[in-house]
Structure 1
Amino acid sequence: MHKFTPALILALAAGTFAGSSLALTSAEYSAARDRINADYKAAKAQCDKLKGNAEDICEEEAKGKRNIARAELEQQREPSDKNARAVELAKAKATYEVAEERCDDLRGEAEDRCEREARAAYDAAVERIRGK
């Protein structure tokens, strides 16, 4: 049986309060959200200089980075297993969306194989993340 000494209780309480002090203020959250959106707009503007599928790939990469950053911000704002999984899912989805766009550069069976492989990798990642 464990004995809880006053020193241990104080240490546990201090750790609890220290963890909560890391939460973002409303202003910090808003500023971070604005920075994420500005970064996305700047990346998307760079994509507009490209043509064809290269532009589509660039846009998917920009969207993926934005979505990952948003998920990470939510995890930073409110750390939890649910939000940690959301970050991992955002990463998996971004990887999948970019891979799908890259497959469009291929034709015929090579394109089909590429899409199947991208989907299989995504499905495996989702299953691993949800299984945690």
Structure 2
Amino acid sequence: MRTAMSFGRRTGLPDVEAMTPIVLVVTGRVTRAAVPGLCAELESLLYDPEGTLRDPGAGVDCDVGGVVQADLALVEAVARLGLVARRAGGGRLRLRNVPPELQRLLDLVGLADVVDVGGGTGGGAVGNGA
């Protein structure tokens, strides 16, 4: 005997898939030596092992709320992560939970116009490799 199932009404626009951003969480103190590892970690989130883009057009969010020191090494990391995201077709890197010190440094070096600085909270966790 088959039982009829009832499902709730779908929310959102019909026939439009929600885009879930790729989220990289950076914590601790970021050193210059950790920057290539962060870029490699973002690339592993963006591409499958065969080198195919996992989710073309997905945005890239970077949660920096857990960093302990905003310095030029972190600014370099943000700049390079932004390049990785842009090369993958994800557009601009969106920063979440930006400490005021990092915001001032990004403004000072002109990167505030290159990355999107916003609020919100992040998903998946990735350390800084240091």
Pairwise same-fold verdict (TM > 0.5): no
Instruction: Indicate the structure with greater strand content.
Output: 2
TM range (shorter): under 0.3
State TM-score, norm by structure 1.
Answer: 0.26
The structure having more radius of gyration, on CA atoms, is: 1
Q: Higher RCO, 1 or 2 (CA under 8 Å, sep at least 6)?
A: 2
Instruction: Indicate the structure with greater helix content.
Output: 1
State TM-score, norm by structure 2.
Answer: 0.26
